[in-house]
Structure 1
Amino acid sequence: MSLKDFPDRKLLSELEVLRQIHKALRLKKPFSLVRIGDGENIALSQGKFLSNEEIEKTYWVRQGKRTKGKGVTLPSLPLRDQMLDGIRKANLVGICRAQNDEVAAPSKFKRSLTNKIFDYYKLKPANLCYVFCNRKMVSYRYFWKILHQHRTLLISKWADQYTQLIRKNYLSLPPNIIGCINFNHYEQIPATLKKVGEYRFDLVLISAGVNAVILA
């Protein structure tokens, strides 16, 4: 089935996503969840759907240059190709809804663009969920129970601050965070993966923008 024909009602719910993650942890099987939002779509469009000039003019790239917060420098075809590889290897992929989507971005950079990219590169994920599942899962006690029961590694430029915050606010079910790795830019991926090898962990939570698709 082409992604453009995939109905929103078939996207896995947050609870279904948590169950898949928990099952993989219990069975000690590899599991990767990646999310494709507007920024990921723009990065994946390089060389095929958007010219370098068009990419430079996007709100996403302009914002990144202004804030230095996107963690990538476009154009970068190696980045695009690594992201495609990450999607192909993922067990679960989060995408924008076709209708009533919550991502605050122009529609042309959301689901319709994902449809084109997935069709062109013949990407057919085994499972699909909503792109904001990560934001919604944290409202479930089940999520915090998983973090409490399993050794968790954080990768993000906010990893240390986030660890302090949740340890302070979740005293009744403290997360078992065994390490934090600071990450700011695509160029850090090789060094970051080397650092990951220094830890014994069960679960990794990654907040690294489009780079998370590669790291996961």
Structure 2
Amino acid sequence: MNSIYLEMQDVLDQLETALREKRALSLVRVGDGENIVMSQEAVWPIEQVLQERWAIKANLGQKGLRLPNLKMRDEVAASLQRATIVGVLPRGDSTIKAPDHLKRPLTDMVFAHYGITPALTCHACVNRELVQVPRFWQILAGKRVLLVTRELEQLQAALMKEPYHLDIVNARSFDNYDQMDETLEWIQSQRDEFDIALFSCGVNAVILAERTAALTGTVAIDFGKANNMILKGRAN
């Protein structure tokens, strides 16, 4: 991957500049779920995909999508190709609890298959780090925030009070991939109402964040497990 790797402060610089200059920026991430979705009939046969524990959980309704889903596969790959900053797991990384074969080795395989070559990368768990850095919240202070997540009421309530005090101007519940098109239409209808959008909705957040930035010219972040950090003090 011939990309520029951004440390935490570099990511914050990018976010701050994009907000100040009112230009589009999408920050998305690749973990085991994204890898599995993209591997369908691309680098793995669907039978192999469906045997993975993550895929079994997805088909029990726990991941906001069901497999096989080749349309979603292609949308995730396309969004990763277009996104401003892509979080990837370093080789040998142990931050996320997933089998090694579902982490960076599989990312390298699917990126090679789809020709995904991000200009800017950072750590895939950047969202967990962001919420623990005071500067992130300072950057968001006074900005109009759009929130899309499954745990809507809890997360919205938490973010509006101490210590975050975010100005959440609009929020929408998102449970599964079937809501993608109507959610993106709704976001476009709100395009002049917000400065930054936060998405905590699993693999769906990759598509939502990249598309939102592209369609509305705003900053959009795949917030991932950051919601758990805020609500429970831990990622899982």
- Alignment correspondent of 1:12: 6
Question: In the alignment, is the contact (CA less than 8 A) between 1:160 and 1:180 conserved in 2?
Answer: no
Computed over aligned residues only, the root mean square deviation of the Cα atoms, in angstroms, reads: 1.5
**Local SS of the residue matching 1:180:** strand
Q: Deviations for 1:89-128, whole angstroms, at most 9, x for unmatched residues?
A: 1000001110333110000010011011111211110100
Equivalent residue letter for 2:24: P
- Alignment correspondent of 2:183: 192
Give the alignment's TM-score, normalised by structure 2. 0.83
How far does residue 195 in structure 1 lie from its aligned partner after superposition?
1.6
- Alignment correspondent of 2:50: 56
Question: In the alignment, is the contact (CA less than 8 A) between 1:152 and 1:176 conserved in 2?
Answer: yes
Question: In the alignment, is the contact (CA less than 8 A) between 1:37 and 1:95 conserved in 2?
Answer: yes
**Aligned partners of 2:64, 2:129: CA distance in 1, in Å?**
24
Map 1:135-214 → 2, pairs under 5 A: 135-170=128-163, 174-199=165-190, 200-214=193-207
Q: Deviations for 1:40-96, whole angstroms, at most 9, x for unmatched residues?
A: 000000112221111111010112234x22111111111011111111110000011
Question: In the alignment, is the contact (CA less than 8 A) between 2:59 and 2:65 conserved in 1?
Answer: no
**Local SS of the residue matching 1:104:** coil
Question: In the alignment, is the contact (CA less than 8 A) between 1:181 and 1:195 conserved in 2?
Answer: no
How far does residue 11 in structure 1 lie from its aligned partner after superposition?
3.2
- Alignment correspondent of 1:35: 29
- Structure 1 stretch displaced more, 93-102 or 79-88: 93-102
Question: In the alignment, is the contact (CA less than 8 A) between 1:150 and 1:203 conserved in 2?
Answer: yes
**Aligned partners of 2:186, 2:55: CA distance in 1, in Å?**
29
**Aligned partners of 1:51, 1:126: CA distance in 2, in Å?**
29
- Alignment correspondent of 2:119: 126
**Local SS of the residue matching 2:87:** strand
Question: In the alignment, is the contact (CA less than 8 A) between 2:160 and 2:167 conserved in 1?
Answer: no
How far does residue 23 in structure 1 lie from its aligned partner after superposition?
0.6
**Aligned partners of 1:177, 1:19: CA distance in 2, in Å?**
22
Question: In the alignment, is the contact (CA less than 8 A) between 2:59 and 2:67 conserved in 1?
Answer: no
Question: In the alignment, is the contact (CA less than 8 A) between 1:15 and 1:137 conserved in 2?
Answer: no
- Structure 1 stretch displaced more, 81-90 or 193-202: 193-202
Q: Is 2:95 the partner of 1:99?
A: no
Structure 1 unaligned blocks of 5 or more: none
**Local SS of the residue matching 1:165:** helix
Q: Deviations for 1:157-207, whole angstroms, at most 9, x for unmatched residues?
A: 11221111122332xx51111111100111101111122123210100001
- Alignment correspondent of 2:214: none
Equivalent residue letter for 1:79: M
**Aligned partners of 1:25, 1:168: CA distance in 2, in Å?**
22
Give runs of ≥4 in structure 1 deviating > 6 Å.
Answer: none
Structure 2 unaligned blocks of 5 or more: 210-236
Give the alignment's TM-score, normalised by structure 1. 0.91
**Aligned partners of 1:120, 1:168: CA distance in 2, in Å?**
44
